[in-house]
Structure formats: structure tokens, C-alpha cells
Structure 1
Amino acid sequence: MKLKSLSLAFLLSGSFVANAATFHQPDQAFLEAATASGLPVELWDSAEYAASSFPNAYKFTPSYEIEKSGVAPEQFKTDKALDFSQIMVPAIDGEMSLNDFLRDRVKNHSMVVLKGDNLLHEHYWNGMDETSTHLDMSVTKSFTAMLAGIAAAQGKLDMSKPVTDYLPELKGSAWDGATVQETADMRTNVIQEVQKHKSWDTRMTDAQGWNGDHSDTYPNGIKDYMPMVKDVATPMGSKYAYQCINTEVLGKVVEAATGEKLADLLEKQIWGKVGMANNAHYQADYAGNPVASGGLNAATKDLARVGRMLMNQGKNYQGEQVVPAEFIANILEGNAEVRSAWLKGKESALADGWYKDQFRTLDLNGRKVMAMVGIHGQVVAMDHQTGTVVAMNGGYPQTETPRMAIAIFHKVLPAIFAAADQVK
């Protein structure tokens, strides 16, 4: 299957709407340069290469370009009141400045801190600047859920219905009996072949062509993998178990319910309304299906703008509703099902909280923090006590470890929020 012909097929497709997100092939010149630099293209997402590959991730795979449009970028007052060289955090060998801890121990690449419309801090390391995009990994999941919430508010999607009402091809799979809401809350407990430090089956990433073109084996991309997942480990809906495939299913449900491609919805419903300053990139498989669980590449300050919108009850800075206020309120409030499910999952050791609609709500030292989280150090954290938003991207050299979670959620974020408390 040739990617060039695929691109033409998309252009000719009746479902490809005007002003749609633009589909691009991998950047061959960049891939040649990466190979010449000793970065094996098939291992681009390995931690050894994170510093080089994560700010350029979309160039390794097919992707959509998500255009900024409509609302002008929100501008911020720039008092930059937080000096990270003066904020100290505990490390294994004594206290360190937050700057040193972020750069040297957490392998952070960029960060933006907002409080209301005040820009309290920003830094861009690793050759980045405020226009640079960065792979956001599973922060992407929260965007997929926001699009589901918008579709539900529009009456196009019923989260209480079975997944198979929207995706009948999954009858006989692990999602036969799962509701859309259980899928969004990671409460399906489907059984996959998952390796250590991963929350996905490598067959899923093969289907998506994440590490090279597998279109001969998976000509329909992620849609070829979904029916392979047949079994459920525990009673449906009872336990929180973080699995990327649930978000891929949710993305396909949104597409089926709306009749629109996920990339087009992201461009129209979010990138065109929040007030973004930069285009984004949305990685896809070789059949043109966006990687709903981890393919967004965005500028860090634009992620902070999204956090600010969510803190403003889903309204952009001009007062236009972008994400339904009820969707955000339900995440913050939780319910008995997600609270009980969280206690049965491994992340309950991190903090009291819950996982709902692809967001975590955590109690961090008495603060209610709503978080969008991705592996290797991608986070948008919103402190509902001070109105502070922290957006960060990084290249921590392992995917899922207690040390990274402790460093970010029990050292970095509490230090920033405490310092933000002092800014009036």
C-alpha cells in the first residue's frame, strides 16, 4: 500500500470535509538526517533518542497538520514572578534548585506556568522555543475525551450506550458489553499482550505504523488490531486499568457518532476556538487513522492555553464555550464508580483521586489537581485552589516508573503551586 495513493484517496473521499486537517507523509529528508546522526528510525520513540526525536516526532510517521484559526492567540501579562533558580526541591542527595532538578533529574524540555492571565514562568530547553511543538504522548487522550464530551453535549453521542452501538464491528470483542463511558474511564479491563513499562500491546503500535510502515500486515491500521482483543480480566466497569487501546476505541466511537474525522474535529472544535498561537501535528497510522491515545504534537504554551480554558469552565478568553462546563464539572466531582475503580488500580499508591474521561483528578497535599498526563514527562496540571496551570514537556528516560511520578507530582508540582500561592 502506497502512502501517496492513500493521501489522494483521502482528498477524494466524500467524508473529507472542506477546511479539513491536512494529511502529510513522513518527512523523508528528516528521516535520512536522523539515520545519518545515528538515530534508527524504527526506534525513534526509544528513550535514548527522546531529546532529539520528541520535538520532531510527527516527522517520523504520517500525520495531520492541525491549523490554528478563528480566535486570535490569547496574550498574557508577563511579570514572570517565579524564579526557578530560587525555588528548592528535595532530591536524593539534598536540595536542588527547581531549574536543576527539572533539567538534570526529570529531563524536562519546556514548561509554561500561568495563573489566571499572568505568565509566571516559561522556559524552553533542548533547542526549543515557544513556537516549537513537542510530542505530548498521552496528554492526547484528554483531547480525545474532550471531543467526546463536545459530541455528547451536541446530542450526537450517548456515553451510556454500548460501544457496539457505534462500532458494530467490535461485537465479539472485549468491548462487546462495555459502555462508551466505561471505555472513556479506562474501566474495561481488556486483556492484551502488554510488556513491562508499557500500557499497550506492541501489535497495536505495529498496526499504527508507529515504528515503520506495517500497512501490508495492517492495511486498515488500528482498526485491524481492535477486534483481536477478545477477553476481559475482571467484571466490566469495576477496576481502573490504564490501557491505550481504550482511547483508540473512544476515538473511533466519536468519529462514528459525528460522521467526521477526529483530526478535523480537533482542528474545528478546539484548535480553532481556544486561541492557539501555533499549528499542531497529529500523528496517524498509514491508513489515516489519528493516534487518538498519543499522537498530538503541540507547542507547550498552547497546551497551557488549553489548561486555562478548562480552568475557565470550558470557555476561551473571549467567553465562548469550547468544552462543556458540565463535562469539566463531572471530571472534578467524580462519582462512586470511578472512585472505587481507582482504589483497585496501581495508581492509587500515587495519590487519592480518580480517573474519569481520560483525565486524572488528584489530591496533592490537599489541592484538587486536574491533570492531563503522558509518559516521559508530558503534563498539563490545573490547580483549582490557586487557578494555576502548569504545562510541561520532557524526555524522561523511561515510560512508566514510580520515580518519575513522585518527582513530578510530589516534588515539582507542589513546589510550583506553593510558589504561585505567594503571587497576588
Structure 2
Amino acid sequence: MKSIASILLLALPLALGYQAQAVEFKPVDNAFVQQSAAFGVTQDNWDHGAHAAATFPNAYRFTPHMEISLPVDVKPREWPKRPQALLQLTAADLDGEHSLEVLLRDRLKNHSMVVLNKGVLVHQHFWNGYGAEQTHLQMSVTKSFTSLLASIAVAQGKLDMDRAIIHYLPELKGTGFEDATVQELADMRSGIGVKFSEGKLWDDRMTEAQDWNGDSKYPDMRGVMDYAKTLDNHRPIGKVYDYLDVNTELLGKVVEKVQGQPLSELLESQIWSKIGAQQPARWMSNRNAEVVASGGLNMTTRDLAKVGEIIANKGVNQQGERVIPAEFIDALFQGDDKVRFAWQQGKESALATGWYKDQFRVLDIKGHKFIAMVGIHGQILVIEPKSQTVIAMNSGFGDMEPPRMAILIFQQIIPAILDKLALDKV
């Protein structure tokens, strides 16, 4: 006889009104979890850097998730090809020049890279037993997708980014978020205070509420809002760029509130069904189907590149359909005085001139100004609008975000690729 819990899990998609053919709740893959345990990998430690090479292409199997299917009436789109020998280019590490192949494969533990230039596929590789059709955990690249969904709500007239967050989420009155605007959340300028758990870049009370490492160990933390209500302000609001996951989680809650739909459904209808994706996406969640808005998306590297291609094309897909508001992309790339000032107060200003706005970085490095979506352990999507170049990469680097990794990727490898493609006049 099935347990009550298993019956409830099976009934959950229907109860929440999900369209089974488009977005479907999936429970933990217990068979895979048991198989992994034989190798010392558990739900408690699957996300440790030491396991990333094997677990990141399988991350969604360790938690509940929402599976976002492909549209049944749209054929996945292939790119024309013009191969370039990008792996033979060289760039520097601390011990001198090396080929990009050595830097990516051996030193950054890269799993894949897809490079587009003017809508043409100029390079792709898949290493470490990772295939073109496998999804990969995108970590904080997910944040930018949550922001894209917010931008669509703004364009529809449903969301005003300059309003206080408590206008949309009144349950946050009396918390550290009370005086922050939605825009300040999106720019990581909320002034909120978070004490990181030992060895992590987050407070594990939040990830426990998201069932990121198995069922929550905190009885009073069953969702992100439970966690957010415990936080206080500790910086001047709007003045300092302070990168915190909870800001994105609440941005996602605002989007769900104004749209009246879960983020997973919005991603399917507003983005995934329009990019010519080749594989389903998987958005990790807790047992209540509350997705991890700040870091839970799993998708293929090729499909990630397709999103970058739309941004490079000013928000329009290959069928000429508007997917992302042009005004959002323009404002993102132009920045403003507030985000420039806030960037200077944060640690990332040592890496590059730039800013953080609406869950994206805009960086100016070695004559190249580009948009960057970034996740720990080496998840990257770079878009250079001027050259219409897109670089998508997924990795399993053993540390979360060491300076050397950022320097290799952003100051060495990406400029080398952009310089090479700038010489290609085709």
C-alpha cells in the first residue's frame, strides 16, 4: 500500500494546477541517491566541490524539482556552423601561457563550452563524460532567469520596480526588508544582513527551507518566506552591492505574486517555449514545489547559449518574436549612477570595471564590454552585444569562487576568445 506521503506527492501537480505536459513536479530520485551513497555522496554533501564533476550534471536528482518540457509543436533549432580552433588559443595562468584547452579542461575542470558568433556555432566541446543532451546545474546563473521573468512582468505593467517590496509582500513588514524597493533587491542593494554558515556562501537555514540537502532540519523553516522574516538590515539601503541569495528568492516571490503563477510555469510559457530549446529544463525545488529562484535551474549548455543568443539579438528570437523586453536589456547594459557607486563598495570591483544590475553583471575588460550571468564552480554565460558573441560554459571546479578562477575566466579566457572572433570578418 502506498504511503500517504507518496500519494500526496503524486497528487501535488494536479492540486497546484500545473499542466502536466508542460511543467511537472518530480520527487527525489531515491534510486539515484542510493546509488550515489555507495560512492560516499549523499543528499547532505552532493553539492560539495569535491563531487561537482559527477553531481552537477545530475543535481536535480538529489532534490524535488519541476520538469519544464519542450513545446510539442516546435522543432528544436540547430545553428549553422563555422568551426574555429578556439582551444588552440593561449592565455596566462600564474605559471605562464597555456592553451585554452589546458586551462579549461585541466585547470578549471570545465565540462562544456558553446560559443556563438552572429548566430553561427563556432565552437562546442563536452568533456568529463558530460554530453550535449545532458542538463547541468547552473547555480547562480539562475538568478538572471528570475530577473528576466521580472522584466516581463514590468513590460506587462504588472510590476513597478521602484515600489517597496512590502507593497507586494506585506508579510515582510517589520523585517529588514521593510524599507527596500524591488529594484534594490534586484540590484543586491537591499542592505539586508545575512550571517553565512561555516564553509558556505549562504545561511543554511535558507537552503534547508528549500530542501537543498534533503528534508529541512529546521521545523520552523518550511519555505523561503519563513527564513526572510528572520532577517534584519545591516547596511545603508541602496548604497552597497552585497551579493545575497535571499534577495533573488524574494524577487521571485514578487514575480509570482503579481503574475499569479509559479516561476516554473512562467519560465515555460514566457521563455522556454520560445528559444528553440533542445532539452527539457529542470528547476530544483522543495517538497512544496517552491523553486530555488537563486540557484536551482538545470539546463544544457546549448540551451543556455540559446538564451544568450536572444539577449544578443536585443530580446528577439529567430522567429522575430519578442521574448525579453528591449528596454530591460538597454537599461542593463547602460547601468546607472546608483549601481556604479554600489559596485565600487563591493569586493568584485577589484576584478573589473562594471556594475551589478537586475541580477546581471556588466563588465568592461580589455576593451570588451559584456553582460555576464555567473554561478559558482564555473557556470558562465557571457554576451558581448557589439560582436553578437555568446559564450556558455559549465564546469565543476572544486572551489566555489576563488579569485584565480574568476581571473582566469574573465581576464584571460573570455578576452582571448572575443579578440579572436573580432578578427573574423565573416
Both proteins in one fold, TM over 0.5: yes
Map of 2:56 onto structure 1: 54
Map of 1:81 onto structure 2: 84
- Deviation of residue 329 (structure 1)? 0.5
Q: What is the CA–CA distance in structure 1 between the aligned matches of 2:286 and 2:377, rounded to whole Å?
A: 21
Map of 1:90 onto structure 2: 92
Identity %: 48
Conserved 8 A contact 2:209-2:218: no
- Deviation of residue 305 (structure 1)? 0.5
Change (3 A) 1:177 1:19: farther
Conserved 8 A contact 1:281-1:297: yes
Q: Give the TM-score, by structure 2 length.
A: 0.95
Change (3 A) 1:197 1:213: closer
Change (3 A) 1:3 1:355: farther
Map of 2:33 onto structure 1: 31
Q: Which consecutive unaligned segments of at least 5 residues does structure 2 have?
A: none
Q: Which consecutive unaligned segments of at least 5 residues does structure 1 have?
A: none
- Deviation of residue 6 (structure 1)? 4.3
1:151-181: per-residue Cα shift (whole Å, max 9, x none)? 1101111111111111111111111011111
Aligned residue type for 1:374:
G
1:37-75: per-residue Cα shift (whole Å, max 9, x none)? 221331000011001100000000000001121543232
Map of 1:221 onto structure 2: 223
Q: Give the TM-score, by structure 1 length.
A: 0.96
Map of 2:14 onto structure 1: 11
Conserved 8 A contact 1:82-1:420: no
Map of 2:190 onto structure 1: 188
Superposition map of 1:280-359 within 5 A? 280-359=281-360
Counterpart secondary structure, 1:200 = coil
Q: What is the CA–CA distance in structure 2 between the aligned matches of 1:204 and 1:156, rounded to whole Å?
A: 28
Aligned residue type for 1:31:
V
Aligned residue type for 2:77:
E
Change (3 A) 1:362 1:62: same
Backbone CA RMSD of aligned residues? 1.6
- Deviation of residue 385 (structure 1)? 2.8
Aligned residue type for 1:358:
Q
Question: Number of residue pairs matched?
Answer: 421
- Find out whether 1:202 has 2:242 as its counterpart: no
Q: Which of 116, 119, 124 is matched with 2:118 structurally? A: 116
Aligned residue type for 2:63:
T
Q: What is the CA–CA distance in structure 1 between the aligned matches of 2:14 and 2:244, rounded to whole Å?
A: 32
- State the 4+ residue runs in structure 1 displaced beyond 3 angstroms: 1-4, 15-20, 195-199
Aligned residue type for 1:305:
K
1:202-234: per-residue Cα shift (whole Å, max 9, x none)? 1111111111111771563222211111x2122
Counterpart secondary structure, 2:271 = helix
Conserved 8 A contact 1:74-1:305: no
Pick which of 107-116 and 192-201 moved more: 192-201
Pick which of 136-145 and 67-76 moved more: 67-76
1:86-128: per-residue Cα shift (whole Å, max 9, x none)? 2111122221110111011111110000001211100001111
Aligned residue type for 2:99:
S
Q: What is the CA–CA distance in structure 2 between the aligned matches of 1:383 and 1:418, rounded to whole Å?
A: 11
Q: What is the CA–CA distance in structure 1 between the aligned matches of 2:220 and 2:252, rounded to whole Å?
A: 18
